[in-house]
Amino acid sequence: MKTAEQIALDVRSGASTAQRELDASLAAIHARNDELNVFLYVDEDGARAAAKDVDDKVARGESVGPLAGVPVAIKDNMCQVGVPTTCSSRILEGWRPPYSATVITRLLAAGAVPVGKTNLDEFAMGSSTENSAFGPTRNPLDPSRVPGGSSGGSAAAVAADMTPIALGSDTGGSIRQPAALCGLIGVKPSYGLVSRYGLIAFASSLDQIGPFSKTVTDAAILLEAIAGHDPMDSTSLPEPAPMLSAHVNDGVVGKRIALVRELIDGADPDVVASVTRAVEVLKDAGATILELSIPELQLGLSAYYLIAPAEASSNLARYDGVRFGLRVDGEDVEAMNTATRTAGFGAEVKRRIMLGTYALSAGYFDAYYGQALKVRTQMIDAFKRAYAQADLLIGATAPSVAFPFGSKTSNPMAMYLSDVFTIPTNLAGEAAISVPFGAGEAGLPTGVQLLGPGRSEAQLFAAARVLEREERGS
């Protein structure tokens, strides 16, 4: 499939049309969606209208945006007015949002064509997309394996060439880990860079929307289009979107890049081998390599599984059978609330709500939630010390390549460990990118993770591009 960059060039120059590009995307979706279960909803009418709008503008000689005519897949936890939005949960089945997320508005303003909503782990809780109420998504590279999660549908859409780019959300790794398992670029932007307005909240202090793509440049173009201050999100950074695509070829000459022991410890040998080779490539490209140990990172998983469920237990209280989607009747309001939530939420969501409610309850608050917040502060300080010595950090994205269905579903702890290398970035509110680099078991792709301080996206893309050029030869 063509890159987003190429599609936009062709549509602007008249070499192609948005409607032709959309037809190709829809044909690819129809060819494999039954097999892979990538899209929960394909918005054919809305997409045709958006594509026609772009073509009309081109015909009138009006300016069209940097994503003119580019089909985009949207994780189904982002609101799009009138389009069913489920979070892969029965509790939201049939709900159509009355407004659009800022990212959707900005995509349309950039000329992009949202084609539909992709599958995810229910409320973005999971690492394999097996927690969806609407069935798992299959990995297009090997349909007997998971695509990762929770943004598994968006990753699979790009990996299966259904769309060149997609949006996911990353609370503890849900963009980077599926990107690694599907052989894609995946970006977790700095907290506040992309508006969360219209993103259905999981853990508000950690959630960020970000891009999936096959090339670094496409990820940069997509992030530029959706980033920048939004008055509708009180945690939005005050400045406009940074320039990213103009800097992808800046290289790494003179950059200090630190290999972090805790970001490879416990990973499969083939994953470690890919990281080691990536370090060599960056060194050959002019970076200064050092090695660091940041022991605080080992506390990330424990702190995350208190903070994220605590926030989730509060955020998910709104699904009470009164305002959204599902209602199961009971003899009084409380019985109705209980029956609705019992029927509407899946096992993992219930587990998180119970964990979070417990961690926040009187008598336990200081011991669990309060303690986790202290660990979070220590982690922020530890990253700050690391970034005094290095410009960027490097490690693995996920401990292994894509794993077979069912291999971790009976053991929540094994599943949680999929995110051991990605979670620290979310706790610190910083930025990271996963780059497909090398291969492991069964020839499946391995992901290398580059991490940077807040607002370091341009540097991260430049370093990722060095690895990409080595892998793809261009």
Q: Are 467 and 282 in contact (CB under 8 A)?
A: yes
Measured distance CA(342)–CA(53) in Å, rounded:
44
Q: Which stretch binds ligand GLN (CB under 6 A): 119-127, 132-140, 338-346, 461-469?
A: 119-127
Q: Environment class of residue 303 by beta-carbon count within 10 Å: exposed (0-12), middle (13-18) or buried (19+)?
A: buried
Member of 219, 308, 435, 451 binding ligand GLN (CB under 6 A): 308
The site string for ligand GLN over 19-58 (x = CB under 6 A, - otherwise) reads: ----------------------------------------
Member of 111, 148, 152, 173 binding ligand GLN (CB under 6 A): 173
Query: Letter for the amino acid at 124?
Result: A
The distance of closest approach from Cβ of residue 196 to ligand GLN in the complex, given in angstroms and rounded to an integer, is 13
Site for ligand GLN in 199-238 (CB under 6 A): 202
Q: Active site includes 236?
A: no
Q: Active site includes 255?
A: no
**43-48 own/partner pairs: CB under 8 Å, 24+ apart:** 43/80, 43/83, 43/114, 43/115, 43/116, 43/117, 44/115, 46/80, 46/82, 46/83, 46/114, 47/22, 47/71, 47/113, 47/114, 47/115, 47/116, 48/19, 48/22
Q: Of residues 100, 127, 150, 195, which has the active-site annotation? A: 150
Member of 37, 89, 102, 171 binding ligand GLN (CB under 6 A): 171
CA neighbor of 372 nearest in space, from 278, 297, 285, 306? 306
Q: Are 401 and 442 in contact (CB under 8 A)?
A: yes
First to last CA, the chain: 16
| Phi (first) and psi of residue 159, to 5 degrees | -65, -30
Q: Of residues 57, 75, 214, 255, which has the active-site annotation? A: 75
Q: Of residues 128, 154, 174, 245, which has the active-site annotation? A: 174
Q: Which stretch binds ligand GLN (CB under 6 A): 169-177, 218-226, 241-249, 260-268?
A: 169-177
Q: Active site includes 174?
A: yes
The site string for ligand GLN over 121-150 (x = CB under 6 A, - otherwise) reads: ---xxxx----------------------x
The distance of closest approach from Cβ of residue 128 to ligand GLN in the complex, given in angstroms and rounded to an integer, is 9
Give yes or no for residue 170 binding ligand GLN (CB under 6 A).
Answer: yes
Q: Which stretch binds ligand GLN (CB under 6 A): 13-21, 35-43, 171-179, 209-217?
A: 171-179
Member of 16, 105, 119, 174 binding ligand GLN (CB under 6 A): 174
Site for ligand GLN in 382-441 (CB under 6 A): 419
Measured distance CA(372)–CA(375) in Å, rounded:
5
The distance of closest approach from Cβ of residue 169 to ligand GLN in the complex, given in angstroms and rounded to an integer, is 6
Strands 392-396 and 431-439: unpaired
The distance of closest approach from Cβ of residue 219 to ligand GLN in the complex, given in angstroms and rounded to an integer, is 17
Of 89 and 174, the one with the shorter C-beta distance to ligand GLN is: 174
Q: With H, G, I as helix, E, B as strand and everything else as coil, classify residue 258.
A: strand
Burial 252-283 (b: 16+ CB within 10 A, else e): beebebbbbebbbbebbeebbebbebbbebbe
Site residues for ligand GLN per CB under 6 A: 124-127, 150, 170-174, 202, 308, 419
Residues carrying an active site annotation: 75, 150, 174
